[in-house]
Structure 1
């Protein structure tokens, strides 16, 4: 399980306080809430990209003691962000972007998995659509066969058909690997169809 317990986190001040959440293998947990409620902050904590002020994160029973630096723990978690163009080096081709965590160029199987045709792999981000670039980002996130996948508003920039296709790829990956998924979205209809359960964060109190 990927578990956050009593997480208080933020930047200069706390954005979330005392939040607990568990993602079990093979299950999809939705995370909803208004803007500013701390969904992305919690996602970054669970992805080991942001150290909380307090609370603990556990991966399959192992407590995380360092953030950013625990490679063996970090590679168990794949992350897909909202804006693919901020996630990929603009100098990279899609082939290079997918291969980045692998350290080699054998990306054909991953490209096929996310339905990227070969002619797109040698294009750079400015030469493809948001949907095509997000497919490449999903392939990169799956490259190391993560035990857990965190999707932080991954469909915000996408049309309905691309959204359905990417969710289908993730579901197939889950069926094959028993991976757990945290799906963060403002789209209640999407979460109703995708998630096994949904956790809702409250708006922060006025300051």
Structure 2
């Protein structure tokens, strides 16, 4: 479902690659835990997998198709097949949009609308909000009016809105308490049961080992060696 083959990647001005020859497979119907310390390249790897950062070498294969290019250079159907939850929800949300409109973003873009139209997808938004345990009264609040954990749950709902074939999560539960963490990991697990692939990056070994029924736990990335 998702394959990275001998991927190297970095950023301008870096003295060496952040990723150096990393190979990783995430099969459909599996949750793969990516365990590595902070600063070792987990976020860079997920950005490459999300087609936001071009590797300097190596290949990215999504659902059997080798993908070249990033962002809008990639066909829309391929972009929509990937859901991505970033580590910091405030960096990935528009502060002027309510949670309802944030969740609606993939649905609106799939319908080729210029701006989120939550009224066109009210039933699906309500379903997603219930799935991630966001009460209806929170949906009309702006990001600054909710907690980091509530905003992160909205971001997970957004990532799931388009029923992605590949779900990428970067420390998705770092801002959640223990009961909510368990609930959100169950949400991810249920999505995997539909045949999707999930790559979950975390430095929390106990979390990954307890919640990834099929997993490859990496002590570190090649870039950290």
| TM-score bracket relative to the smaller structure | over 0.9
Aligned residues: 204
Structure 1 length-normalised TM:
0.94
Q: Is it true that 1:163 corresponds to 2:157 in the alignment?
A: no
SS at match of 2:141: coil
- Per-residue displacement from partner, 1:33-74 (whole Å, max 9, x unpaired)? 122211110110011110000000001211001211212211
CA contact (8 A) 1:6 1:17 kept: yes
Paired with 1:53 and 1:68, the residues of 2 have a C-alpha distance of 16
The two structures, once aligned, show a CA RMSD in angstroms of 1.3
Runs of 5+ in structure 2 lacking a partner? 109-116
CA contact (8 A) 1:80 1:154 kept: yes
Q: Which residue of 1 aligns with 2:53?
A: 50
- The answer to which structure has the higher helix fraction is 2
Q: Where do residues 150-189 of structure 1 align in structure 2 (5 Å cutoff)? A: 150-175=168-193, 177-189=194-206
Q: Which residue of 2 aligns with 1:191?
A: 208
Q: Which residue of 2 aligns with 1:34?
A: 37
Structure 2 length-normalised TM:
0.86
Q: Which residue of 1 aligns with 2:159?
A: 141
Q: Which residue of 2 aligns with 1:204?
A: 224
Runs of 5+ in structure 1 lacking a partner? none
Structure 1 pair 119/178, CA: closer, same or farther in 2 (3 Å)? Answer: same
